[in-house]
Structure 1
Amino acid sequence: MSGKFMIYGATGYTGKLVARTARALGMRPLLAGRNEARLKSVAGQHGFEYQAFGLNDRQALTAALSQVDAVLHIAGPFAHTSQPMREACISTRTHYLDITGEIDVFEACAAADAEAREAGIMVMPGVGFDVVPSDCLAAHMKARMPDAVELTLAISGLGRMSRGTAKTGVESIGKGTRVRRDGEIVALGSPPRREVDFGQGPKPAIAVGWGDVATAYHSTGIPNITVYFEASPELERMASLGAIGRWFASTGFMQRRLKGAIESQPEGPTDAERREGFAVLVGEAVNEAGDRIVSRLRTPEGYTLTAMTSLEIMRRTLAGRAVPGFQTPSRVFGPDFIVEFEGCTRRDMNG
């Protein structure tokens, strides 16, 4: 292996943060993306090589991937970008990592397992805050309760979103609240609600279609999975949309309006906001007998953690620790992988 990797989508908020972190770690990625002027600017700040091309240019994409051993794909929404990148990685035998949190993308990557194994490459979507901490927490809950039949994950502390994350959220409005029931992903007409103690007493929380609805099942085999976010005014407004409201918000006209409004927002959290921010994740597992265990995980702010975990997984991939086929972070690196990072602490509350 050459030990060389590509960051595709290096000019977005997260891409620039990951590139900056890579330089601080002494890594030298090839930066790539569609906009040559922006790429030149980002690459020039760090002394990195760059290549500009779109994912619809298969010849240029294949040529670029042939120069590297692995790609860290950061350009979303991944519903549009994952497939062409993943297929090109399989054809060039290039390891594929991305930072998606989109359920359909995880399931599409899982469906490509046989192709990835045949190519001898690892396909690991979700190597950032989506879904490293929650996936490791899910695996930890499974280890604590091997006979668990129900898994609940709850997340607090999500601050300002990047524009890319917000646009991905807008595209998912029409899909309802997705959960896993009896091993199958189903959409609920209205989101379940409950209270969750994130460390300062019970707080209202609302179910969301987070990536672990897909990945936690692949990591643990637990058949019933629900993911909650701590309630916020924005989430409450989304949850209050009925079927007609979700349909209207998913029309082309409204999607364009909503995405246009996102473009006027700040690119993402400031460095100060990221330094001060943190997230708390709660895992709860229940077995057939009704026994219940709870664990709590605290991490750095989400975008900061994404840069940390994605680059560490890339480092391990280049070091020969990739496992061919579709993989989740905890399946390859174990449930304790997350607590190896500075600022990540886990506590078992009972059981």
Structure 2
Amino acid sequence: MQHEFLLYGANGYTGELIARHAMQYKLLPILAGRRKEQIAPLAAKLGLPYRIFDMNDGGALLAALKEVKAVIHAAGPFEYTAKPMVLACLLTGTHYLDINGSIEVFEMIKQYDASAKKAGVMLLPGAGFDVVPTDCIALQLKNLLPNAVRLQLAFATTGGSLSHGTATTMTDKLGEGGAERKDGKIVKVPLGKKGMWVDFGPKQLFVMSIPWGDVSTAWFTTGIPNIETYTGVAKKTFTLLKLQWLFNWVLRRSSIRKIIKNKINRQPAGPADEQRTNARSLVWGQVINEDGKTAIVRMSAPEGYTLTTHSALIIVQKILNGNFSPGYQTPASAYGENLVMEIPGVNREVIE
């Protein structure tokens, strides 16, 4: 078997999970990152080659990408790391995947669609929990109700927790507010502007609106002009956020964010294997047309980091087998509404 893809950020929590499970898909990545003291022992344990370089070292980045057909970019925060990796992939003809979930990053990468088509390269950000399950539900709902004008997507996790990388990315967005799509345009709104109870199937949970990646990607996938995204929270958190205008300015201060990040770094790197195994992700989507007709799809899936591990490897396997569409893609635009059903442990139902 050839080492056909680069896994950059293999020393991160999710990157290590992807490295550990790659053999399950008969894939042999080249592990890469900045920290030799973390990458080298993992590579030795898994019997894989590795490369150590900083992404700011353009020569080393280009040299590493020339060795492979694709990269899974797993080193955030993607607001800073996605663009240099995308540009390097366009220069070397390397397919690009990442596990990002940021609206701004999706919108930025989308701008390179024409360049990617010219280079014969696929750019597919959001190849993990952000946004594979929600993107597949969005497309399924569009197919169920083609004239839908409004899309709502919600997710919640039972029994899971955050990795350092996810928590750090969220800290960098503290005090920045939310976003939704209105009449085809992304508009800024307060975080938690809306809240509602959702029947996820196994249980009813309260959710509030957040700026999830689908505000960008579901529009690309479906063309539905009004999109809202929600996540499960405690009702008291939602109530507290109604006062956020009083303290958002404090949360935007770098000194406050630094204190929070130091606290994050003292926690475990992410959920333990047993915790991930016992946790579940619940996903729900609803579309509405002008006449008020609705369609609902709900899903039960593995915990988010587990799902990300499988979905990223499934997608990179497809690419290496020649199954890809050049240019900017979302998971469902490239591989259809049933992509998510290839992930072990996913159950889905349509509610009439």
TM bin (shorter chain): over 0.9
C-alpha contact (below 8 Å) 2:150/2:289 kept by paired residues: yes
Alignment match, 2:179: 178
Q: How does 1:24-173 map to 2 (within 5 A)?
A: 24-157=24-157, 159-173=160-174
Q: Which amino acid aligns with 1:92?
A: T
Structure 1, unmatched stretches of 5+, are: none
Shift of 1:23: 2.7
C-alpha contact (below 8 Å) 2:3/2:28 kept by paired residues: no
Q: Which amino acid aligns with 1:306?
A: T
Would the alpha carbon gap of residues 41 and 304 (structure 1) be closer, same or farther in structure 2, given more than 3 Å must change?
A: same
Shift of 1:200: 4.4
Q: How does 1:1-351 map to 2 (within 5 A)?
A: 4-157=4-157, 159-190=160-191, 191-200=193-202, 202-232=204-234, 236=238, 239-240=241-242, 242-350=244-352
Shift of 1:201: 5.1
Structure 1: how far apart are the matches of 2:320 and 2:3?
A: 5
Shift of 1:3: 6.4
Q: Which amino acid aligns with 1:267?
A: A
Would the alpha carbon gap of residues 283 and 54 (structure 1) be closer, same or farther in structure 2, given more than 3 Å must change?
A: same
Q: Which amino acid aligns with 1:257?
A: I
Shift of 1:135: 0.3
TM-score (norm 1): 0.96
Structure 2: how far apart are the matches of 1:177 and 1:235?
A: 15
Q: Deviations over 1:53-93 (max 9, x none)?
A: 01100011011111111000000110111011111111111
Structure 1: how far apart are the matches of 2:203 and 2:75?
A: 38
C-alpha contact (below 8 Å) 2:3/2:27 kept by paired residues: no
Would the alpha carbon gap of residues 234 and 260 (structure 1) be closer, same or farther in structure 2, given more than 3 Å must change?
A: farther
SS in 2 for 1:68: coil
Q: Deviations over 1:238-296 (max 9, x none)?
A: 73452342222121111211111110111111111111111111110000111111111
Equivalent pairs, count: 349
C-alpha contact (below 8 Å) 2:206/2:235 kept by paired residues: no
Structure 2: how far apart are the matches of 1:166 and 1:235?
A: 17
Moved more, 332-341 or 126-135: 332-341
C-alpha contact (below 8 Å) 1:4/1:68 kept by paired residues: yes
SS in 2 for 1:180: strand
Q: Which amino acid aligns with 1:336?
A: N
Q: Which amino acid aligns with 2:165?
A: G
Would the alpha carbon gap of residues 339 and 177 (structure 1) be closer, same or farther in structure 2, given more than 3 Å must change?
A: same
Would the alpha carbon gap of residues 193 and 234 (structure 1) be closer, same or farther in structure 2, given more than 3 Å must change?
A: closer
Moved more, 251-260 or 103-112: 251-260
C-alpha contact (below 8 Å) 2:3/2:29 kept by paired residues: no
C-alpha contact (below 8 Å) 1:3/1:69 kept by paired residues: no
Would the alpha carbon gap of residues 235 and 93 (structure 1) be closer, same or farther in structure 2, given more than 3 Å must change?
A: farther
Structure 2: how far apart are the matches of 1:320 and 1:274?
A: 32
Shift of 1:174: 2.9
Shift of 1:26: 2.7
C-alpha contact (below 8 Å) 2:179/2:186 kept by paired residues: yes
Would the alpha carbon gap of residues 296 and 30 (structure 1) be closer, same or farther in structure 2, given more than 3 Å must change?
A: same
C-alpha contact (below 8 Å) 1:3/1:318 kept by paired residues: no
Structure 2: how far apart are the matches of 1:276 and 1:46?
A: 25
Shift of 1:172: 1.5
Let me know the Cα RMSD of the aligned residues.
1.6
Shift of 1:208: 0.7
C-alpha contact (below 8 Å) 1:23/1:46 kept by paired residues: no
C-alpha contact (below 8 Å) 1:294/1:348 kept by paired residues: yes
Identity between Structure 1 and Structure 2 (%):
41
TM-score (norm 2): 0.96
Q: Deviations over 1:21-53 (max 9, x none)?
A: 013333110010000121101101101000000
Structure 1: how far apart are the matches of 2:307 and 2:341?
A: 12
Structure 2: how far apart are the matches of 1:197 and 1:229?
A: 13
C-alpha contact (below 8 Å) 2:93/2:120 kept by paired residues: yes
Q: Deviations over 1:163-203 (max 9, x none)?
A: 00001111122321111111111111252111111124543
SS in 2 for 1:265: coil
